[in-house]
């Protein structure tokens, strides 16, 4: 066992105390200035996931058409980086789970405005937490968009 003994001069002790007080004050003040992350969205069960989608305005079939486990790359590049950006716009923490195994649940959407068939909702879940999602069209001129329900235009 090693014991170190330090002796500080009175002026140095006062400076150290002042620095410690300033550091403590910054630690107390800064968290209030930082962006607070949203509470995790529970998605551990089909009921949780369907309730989430329903809350956004979507009507989906109760059973997923596909459930797939994916190992996300350590670094999200190219298409994965674009997907992570889409998730960030939705305040979903997809990028925080790079390098981890996640599960993707795919549900058939039955109420996409103007499109009767071929629209699906993908939800990415890690553990019991929703980390990402999108709406896709499987049609020839398909699309991929956020989970936000589209506004209908009055004609």
Residue range 100-144, pLDDT digits in tens: 999 999 999 999 999 999 999 999 999 999 999 999 999 888 999
- Round to the nearest angstrom and report the end-to-end CA distance of the chain: 82
- Does a structural domain hold residue 21? no
* pTM for this predicted structure: 0.73
- Does a structural domain hold residue 33? no
Number of domains in the chain: 1
- Does a structural domain hold residue 27? no
What residue numbers bound the domain in which 71 lies? 41-145
- Does a structural domain hold residue 125? yes
Classify each residue of 27-57 as buried b or exposed e, where b means 16 or more C-beta atoms within 10 Å of its C-beta: eeeeeeeeeeeeeebbbeeeebbbebbeeee
């Amino acid at each position: 066992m090693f014991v170190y003994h330090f002796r500080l001069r009175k002026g140095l002790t006062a400076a150290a105390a002042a620095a410690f007080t300033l550091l403590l004050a910054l630690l107390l003040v800064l968290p209030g200035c930082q962006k607070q992350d949203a509470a995790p969205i529970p998605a551990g069960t089909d009921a949780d996931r369907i309730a989430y989608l329903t809350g956004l305005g979507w009507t989906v079939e109760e059973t997923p058409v596909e459930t797939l486990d994916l190992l996300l790359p350590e670094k999200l590049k190219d298409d994965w980086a674009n997907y992570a950006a889409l998730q960030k716009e939705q305040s979903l923490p997809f990028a925080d789970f790079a390098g981890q195994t996640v599960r993707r649940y795919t549900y058939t959407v039955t109420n996409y405005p103007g499109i009767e068939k071929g629209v699906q909702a993908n939800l990415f879940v890690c553990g019991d937490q929703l980390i990402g999602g999108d709406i896709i069209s499987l049609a020839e001129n398909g699309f991929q968009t956020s989970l936000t329900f589209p506004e209908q235009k009055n004609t």
